[in-house]
């Protein structure tokens, strides 16, 4: 059968920019899947998605006008129900066949055309028929309806359309934005499908102001992007438009002296791509006096409020130049440039005003105000929370760095949340912590404390930097531990995909700091330091919290490439000091690669089962009670190898510690071949169990090696 390429476009009013790319991919993906499912498009058909601010479109290659007929076999009923004793059709069978459209004028012939086949314990009748393939119009109608229904739209709007009939009236339409036209072209032929009160044609609209013609008429499905670009002044492809913006941004930045470059922000780039149909990047500037304001404030206001691209110099400092991605390309762009420069000036002036006003009060003077800010109805105010974080930070600082670190950590924790009361953070909540660092330096606080205030939210997200100094690390740990202990203590535990207090992120932050900074405190010890500060505000939750944190650690390790067996082996022992986890995993991986590993892992599992059944076993061996050569040989080997392995473990050479134990394979195998552990004589049994207990303890310092057994 001959095929033609298919184009479908839905032209609407401006779509939500942050969702545009996702909408375009979903629209084309579901449409193509449905066409393939109906046999109208091949499995390897090429699907191209288009998405611009006012349109969603899909181009699908090799689409049939009529799908091929399909042979279908349907189960009718058991033979005992469909045929009588003489083998003739029963009324139930004839009625079923008639419902399926079969010819029952000759019942005997109808029965002869059926197939009999086993169906479980009985035999059933089956009817073979030819299902007519879907026409493109019917199949595309179904595919389009499915594509529109499955668009990831969080909220639809309702609007009215005048009914297209003899009686005047209005009909309600529900969609993300009002739709104005629909195109469906199979090659050069219009497919007259309907959707959202529209009937498909071959006309669309181009750029609001710069299209050469209106409407833009498409003669063929394969001319879509070319004709829209030529006649409609629209780059229809999201990726193509995005690449063009990047090219123009870099070219415009190159015109600025000093090696300037546009700030990197993928989300901003996606959003701007979704706002323009034909980008035109323009170079703008603002007064240098605003550069006295922290650059984070200026960058944020330009990006968030105006969708501008600030330019930074080779050293990473903000310049007074910025780039605008305009949706129009006038011959004289001076008015557009001047307009954008006038618009940004009040925004920057506001930021300067907030910064100047905030510095008139010290952070210390704002501490009292925290008691007026509610944190949680069961956990009190931000002031009460600050006191708890201070106590936890002081305790951790004392343990890992003595009096000096404890004092600095307590001071930083006391002031860390005060910037929440500043005008700048009130306007831009994203700057919390960052502004606290600036104001701390202005107040004359030490660099360590200022950096700690700035960094105490870190890591904010996956891949974020950790706090830069010891004070910041202690305060960040204290802040996250207070949140975790408090929320678990009042029963606010994440469920499913719901985690309103970001406890998973807090737990991963704690894990990263303990692992990557190798903090010399165990996780249970840290939780023990954090719990008493709540008094009677919380009850329980400690066991669930420690399980929660270890689960986050296990998941993180698997994402880093460690196998489930390796992770399970190490995490089964619940290592208290998380900084040891990665060295443990490396040691387990090296051990698992040894030829002795499978046998020793299996033996370790067997030993564990024996000891579990035996109950409490003392790891003590009386050499005088060793009778068999195999148990004597194992004991001798253990006397030589276990002290060596233990010394290596204490020295932190976990890989060598496990590899030393690999030499025990032969004596362990001989022991299980020749020795009856549960001997009838109680003293022999206890002695042999004690021997195995000593071996089990030595083998499982790094990990539960039985988890490596297949």
What tens digit of pLDDT does each residue of 500-538 get?
A: 899 999 999 999 999 999 999 999 999 999 999 999 999
* CA–CA dist 695, 686 (Å, integer): 14
Residues 402 and 545 in one domain: yes
45/91 same-domain check: no
Neighbours of 84 (CB within 10 A): 12
Whether residue 443 is contained in a domain is answered as yes
Q: 287 in a domain, yes or no? A: yes
- The pLDDT, as a whole number, for residue 661 is 92
Considering the domain architecture, whether residues 403 and 494 belong to the same structural domain is answered as yes
User: Does residue 385 form part of some domain?
Assistant: yes
Whether residue 187 sits in one domain with residue 305 = no
**In this structure, are 227 and 280 located in the same domain?**
no
Residue 143: partners with Cβ closer than 8 Å, 6 or more residues away: 30, 31, 34, 35, 38, 40
State residue 133's pLDDT score: 78
C-alpha 205/C-alpha 11 separation (Å) is 8
Structure-token pair, residue 330: 């006038």
Identify the H or E element spanning 619.
Answer: none
Q: Are 104 and 43 in contact (CB under 8 A)?
A: no
Q: Which residues of 404-435 are buried (b: 16+ CB within 10 A; e: fewer)?
A: ebbbbbbbbbbbbbbbbbbbbbeebeebbbbb
Residue 340: CB atoms within 10 A of its CB come to: 19
| Bridge partners (DSSP) listed for residue 182 | 10
Assess if residue 342 is contained within a domain.
yes
Q: Contact at 8 Å (CB) between 176 and 156?
A: yes
CA atoms within 13 A on the CB side of 157: 11
Which class for 10: exposed (0-12), middle (13-18), buried (19 or more C-beta within 10 A)? buried
Q: Do 279 and 352 lie in a common domain?
A: yes
Q: For 75-124, what is each residue's pLDDT tens digit?
A: 888 888 888 888 888 888 888 888 877 888 888 888 888 888 888 778 88
Last-in-domain residue among 231, 248, 279: 231
Residues 36 and 184 in one domain: yes
DSSP 200-213: -BSEE---TTT-SS
DSSP state of 83: B
Same domain? For 513 and 382 the reply is yes
Domain membership of residue 542 (yes or no) is yes
Identify which of 485, 460, 456, 461 has the alpha carbon closest to the alpha carbon of residue 473: 456
* Cα(471)–Cα(22) distance, integer angstroms: 42
Are 679 and 703 contained in the same domain? yes
Token pair in block for residue 14: 């401006």
CA angle 642/645/646 to nearest 5° reads 85
**What does the DSSP 8-state code read for residue 498?**
B
A 10 A CB-CB count for 495 gives 7
Q: Which of 295, 323, 358 is the last residue of a domain?
A: 358
Note whether residue 99 is domain-resident.
yes
Into how many domains does the chain fold? 5
Tokens representing residue 432 in the block: 């919390």
What is the distance between the alpha carbons of residues 577 and 702, in angstroms, rounded to a whole number?
A: 12
Same-domain status, 95 and 31: no
Q: Which residue positions in the chain have pLDDT lower than 70? A: 1, 162-169, 710
φ, ψ at 63 (rounded to 5°): -100, 135
438 vs 190: CA distance, rounded Å: 63
Q: Could you report the per-residue pLDDT of 685-707, keeping only the tens digit for each? A: 999 999 999 999 999 999 999 99
Nearest to 407 by CA among 395, 419, 417, 421: 395
Which structural domain range is residue 107 located in?
75-131
Query: Residue 163's pLDDT is what?
Result: 62
CA distance 187 to 354: 60
Task: Examine the domain organization and report whether 118 and 242 are in the same domain.
Answer: no
Residues 478 and 521 in one domain: yes
CATH of the domain at 445: 1.10.3210
Assigned domain for 568 exists = no
- Taking the CA atoms of the chain, what radius of gyration do you get in angstroms? 36
> Which of 526, 561, 596 is a domain's end point?
561
Q: Can you give the pLDDT at residue 415?
A: 98
Predicted TM-score (pTM) of the model is 0.81
Structural domain includes residue 366: no
CA distance readout (Å), 43 to 10, 32, 76, 387: 24, 9, 31, 63
CATH code of the domain in which 701 resides? 1.10.730
């Amino acid at each position: 059968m001959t095929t033609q390429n298919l184009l479908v476009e839905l032209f609407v009013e401006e779509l939500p920019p942050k969702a545009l790319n996702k909408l375009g991919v979903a629209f084309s993906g579901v449409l193509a899947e449905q066409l393939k499912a109906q046999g109208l498009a091949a499995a390897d058909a090429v699907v191209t998605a288009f998405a611009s601010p006012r349109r969603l479109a899909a181009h699908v290659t090799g689409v049939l006008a009529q799908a091929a007929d399909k042979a279908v076999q349907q189960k009718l009923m058991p033979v005992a129900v469909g045929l009588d004793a003489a083998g003739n059709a029963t009324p139930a069978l004839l009625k079923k066949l008639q419902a399926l459209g079969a010819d029952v004028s000759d019942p005997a012939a109808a029965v002869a055309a059926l197939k009999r086949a086993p169906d479980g314990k009985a035999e059933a009748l089956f009817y073979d028929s030819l299902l007519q393939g879907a026409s493109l119009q019917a199949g595309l109608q179904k595919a389009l309806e499915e594509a529109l229904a499955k668009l990831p739209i969080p909220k639809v709007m309702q609007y009215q359309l005048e009914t297209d009939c003899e009686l005047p009236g209005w009909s309600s339409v529900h969609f993300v934005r009002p739709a104005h036209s629909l195109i469906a072209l199979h090659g050069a032929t219009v497919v007259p499908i309907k959707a959202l009160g529209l009937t498909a044609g071959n006309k669309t609209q181009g750029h609001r102001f710069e299209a050469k013609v209106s409407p833009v008429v498409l003669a063929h499905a394969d001319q879509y992007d070319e004709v829209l670009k030529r006649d409609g002044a629209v780059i229809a492809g999201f990726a193509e438009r995005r690449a063009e913006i990047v090219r123009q941004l870099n070219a415009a930045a190159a015109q600025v002296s000093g090696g300037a470059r546009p700030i990197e922000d993928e989300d901003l780039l996606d959003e701007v791509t979704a706002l323009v149909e034909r980008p035109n990047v323009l170079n703008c500037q603002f007064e240098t006096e605003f550069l006295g304001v922290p650059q984070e404030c200026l960058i944020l206001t330009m990006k968030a409020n105006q969708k501008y691209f600030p330019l930074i110099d080779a050293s990473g400092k903000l310049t007074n130049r910025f780039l605008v991605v305009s949706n129009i390309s006038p011959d004289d762009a001076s008015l557009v440039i001047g307009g954008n420069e006038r618009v940004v000036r009040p925004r920057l002036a506001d930021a300067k005003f907030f910064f100047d006003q905030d510095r008139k009060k010290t952070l210390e003077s704002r501490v009292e105000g925290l008691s007026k800010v509610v944190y949680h109805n069961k956990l009190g105010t931000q002031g009460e929370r600050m006191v708890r974080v201070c106590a936890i930070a002081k305790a951790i600082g004392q343990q890992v760095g003595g009096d000096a670190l404890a004092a600095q950590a307590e001071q930083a924790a006391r002031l860390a949340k005060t910037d929440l009361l500043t005008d700048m953070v009130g306007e831009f909540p994203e700057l919390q912590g960052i502004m606290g660092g600036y104001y701390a330096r202005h107040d004359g606080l030490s660099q360590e404390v200022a950096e700690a205030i700035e960094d105490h939210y870190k890591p904010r997200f996956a891949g974020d930097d950790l706090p830069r100094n010891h004070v910041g690390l202690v305060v960040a740990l204290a802040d996250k531990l207070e949140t975790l202990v408090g929320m678990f203590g009042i029963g606010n535990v994440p469920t499913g995909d719901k985690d309103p207090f970001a406890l998973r992120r807090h737990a991963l932050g704690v894990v990263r700091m303990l692992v990557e900074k190798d903090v010399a405190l165990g996780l249970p010890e840290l939780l023990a330091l954090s719990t008493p500060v709540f008094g009677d505000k919380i009850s329980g939750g400690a066991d669930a919290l420690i399980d929660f944190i270890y689960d986050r650690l296990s998941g993180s390790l698997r994402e880093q490439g460690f196998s489930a067996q390796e992770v399970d082996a190490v995490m089964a022992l619940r290592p208290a000091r998380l900084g040891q986890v990665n060295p443990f995993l490396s040691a387990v991986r090296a051990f698992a690669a040894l030829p002795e590993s499978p046998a020793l892992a299996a033996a370790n599992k067997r030993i564990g089962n024996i000891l579990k059944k035996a109950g409490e076993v003392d790891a003590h061996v009386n050499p005088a009670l060793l009778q068999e050569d195999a148990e004597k040989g194992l004991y001798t080997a253990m006397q030589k190898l276990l002290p060596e392995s233990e010394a290596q473990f204490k020295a932190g050479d976990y890989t060598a510690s496990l590899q030393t134990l690999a030499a025990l394979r032969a004596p362990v195998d001989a022991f299980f071949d020749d020795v009856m552990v549960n001997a009838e004589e109680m003293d022999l049994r206890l002695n042999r169990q004690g021997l195995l207990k000593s071996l089990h303890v030595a083998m499982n310092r790094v990990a539960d090696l039985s988890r490596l057994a297949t």
